[in-house]
Amino acid sequence: MSVLIKNGRVITASEDYTADILIEGEKISAIGKNLSSETTHALSPEEIDATGKLIFPGGIDPHVHLDMPFMGTFSSDNYETGTLAALHGGTTMVIDFILQTQGKSLHNALDEWRSRSDGNCYGDYSFHMAVTDFNDDTKKEIKDLIDKEGITSFKTFMAYKGALMIDDRQMIGLMNEVRDRGGIVTVHATNGDMIDFLIAKHRAEGKLSPLYHYLSQPEITESEAAGRFADMAFYTDVPAYIVHLTCEGALNQVRDATERNQKIFVETCIQYLILDASLYEKDFEGAKWVMSPPLREKKDQATLWAGINQGLVQVVGTDHCPFEWNKKLMGEKDFSKIPNGHPAIENRMELLYSEGVEKGRISLNKYVEVTSTNAAKIFGMFPQKGTIGIGADADIVIFDPKKKHKISAKTHHMNVDYSGYEGWEVTGKVETVLLRGKVAIDNGKEKIKKGYGKFVKRGKVSKVI
């Protein structure tokens, strides 16, 4: 089967041109002017007219939590609903987080997550391994996960003490092993001890509204941890990546690290670019935006946009981790019992185009970099993923840059009964999405079946992209 996309404006991280794209099987086989079945010798290709449309590589969201156990419940999007919603929003691949149970092996966690993911995905997927108990036994598993399973990124938590957090000794040990095996260490960089102290203080004072979730995680808790992580990564010389960085103080720690010739990859999330902490003042409705780290201030938004253009922030993800409203209500009388998370997997690409490209904050090429190409490069999938080029997977988004629409829980495909962006007017709409050569979404209609998404084994990584 072949597909011929005609007359689209093709945007990659480095190029911008009008051309036709021929897809044969799962791969892009030709790019050029005036392609046809006669010139390419393709047998009766399905033609798609992309005149006036933008063509992007399929989005890659390297930070999602699907079917994730948390605070006695599970995130409401599973691998079926989450990857389908992602496709509707132009994201053709996600990287989810496996969470090791303390006292159990990494492979045990991998088996548990695969029991939920395999055969259930619409879009392509891979995993990060969150190491919550680094010891002599788990150390031995790192090589096998990288070489045999194609899982090359290892997540660490500097918060959630007693459940996910590791100490600095374990961090150094993990960094040394991952460096030697060709992987990368990623981090949730917030000071867990300080946060726990502030949570206990606010609860003791009867300050229990969602606002105190925010006030229990001031900027210093993130900037301190980001700096400490940067120092450990510098000492061990491991490829390093900070997830969901939110604030000026933390980004300044990364900026300072460049003065000693250190490279740290940085991800922010769409919500931190366009939402701010004033939402926590909406009484319990503020629970919609309870996430960790929390939303920050307007000055932090300005810093993050600048960081993208300065090359300090390489990736915009989502940290998609939705919970139905009745689950959020578990914390109605105590902010510390509100499940942390926010739905955005479907909204990222359109919101970033509308708020970034359309408003002149970032270029089209930068948009492709931070939504797709850089994630593919950092996590060992480029050029199979993350670009439009001959031989690459035919993961393609055909995008109408002029179409206006509003975001609403009534029309989104995420399995959650509210939206953090309800009524937000967006300019730019995902029209058609191809995944490995097949039309997956066409004008809001899915064209593939559950199970088409496949696990992507990733290659070893480096400290440069």
Q: What is the pLDDT of residues 105-131, one digit of tens each?
A: 999 999 999 999 999 999 999 999 999
Domain with CATH 3.20.20.140 in the chain: 58-378
- Whether the pLDDT of residue 42 is over 80: the answer is no
Q: What is the mean pLDDT of residues 308-312?
A: 98
- Give pTM, 2 decimals: 0.97
Contact 38, 288 (CB under 8 A): no
Confidence band of 43 (pLDDT split at 50, 70, 90):
confident
pLDDT at 142 over 90: yes
Predicted pLDDT of residue 436: 98
pLDDT at 40 over 80: no
Q: Which of 26, 27, 55, 63 is nearest to 379 (CA)?
A: 63
| CATH of region 2-56+390-407+426-446 | 2.30.40.10
Whole-angstrom distance, CA of residue 59 vs CA of residue 313: 17
308-313 mean pLDDT: 98
Is residue 252 classed exposed, middle or buried when 0-12, 13-18 and 19+ CB atoms within 10 A define those classes?
Answer: middle
Return the CATH fold of 58-378.
TIM Barrel (3.20.20)
Tally helices (H) and strands (E) across the chain. 15, 19
Alpha-carbon 275 to chain mean position: 17
Position 44 scores a pLDDT of 83
**254: part of which helix (H) or strand (E)?**
helix 248-258
> What would the mean pLDDT of 241-260 be, rounded to a whole number?
98
Helix (H, G, I), strand (E, B) or coil at 214: helix
pLDDT range class, residue 462, cuts 50, 70, 90: confident
Place 364 in a pLDDT band, splitting at 50, 70 and 90. Answer: very high
pLDDT at site 120: 98
Burial class (CB in 10 A: 0-12, 13-18, 19+), 333: exposed
**CB of 189 closer than 8 Å to CB of 229:** yes
Q: Which residues contact 200 (CB under 8 A, 6 or more apart)?
A: none
d(CA 329, CA 141): 39
pLDDT at position 71 is 79
- pLDDT at site 229: 98
Q: In whole angstroms, what separates CA 297 from the centre of its chain?
A: 21
Closest CA to 367 of 315, 427, 310: 315
- Whether residue 186 contacts residue 130, with contact meaning beta carbons closer than 8 Å, is answered with no
Which of the four pLDDT bands, split at 50, 70 and 90, describes residue 306?
Answer: very high
pLDDT at 70: 82
| pLDDT of residue 37 exceeding 90 | no
pLDDT number for residue 395: 98
Q: What is the pLDDT of residues 404-451, one digit of tens each?
A: 999 999 999 999 999 999 999 999 999 999 999 999 999 999 999 999
Q: Is the pLDDT of residue 342 over 80?
A: yes
Q: In this predicted structure, what is the pLDDT of residue 243?
A: 98
Domain with CATH 2.30.40.10 in the chain: 2-56+390-407+426-446
Local confidence band at 36 (pLDDT 50, 70, 90 cut-offs): confident
Higher pLDDT pick, 463 / 457: 457
Half-sphere exposure of residue 105, counting CA atoms within 13 Å on the CB side? 10
DSSP conformation letters of 25-72: TTEEEEEESS--HHHH--SSPEEEE-TT-EEEEPEEEEEE-SS-EETT
User: Other C-beta atoms within 10 Å of 397: how many?
Assistant: 28
pLDDT in the model for residue 428: 98
Give the integer Cα–Cα distance in Å for 355 and 100.
36
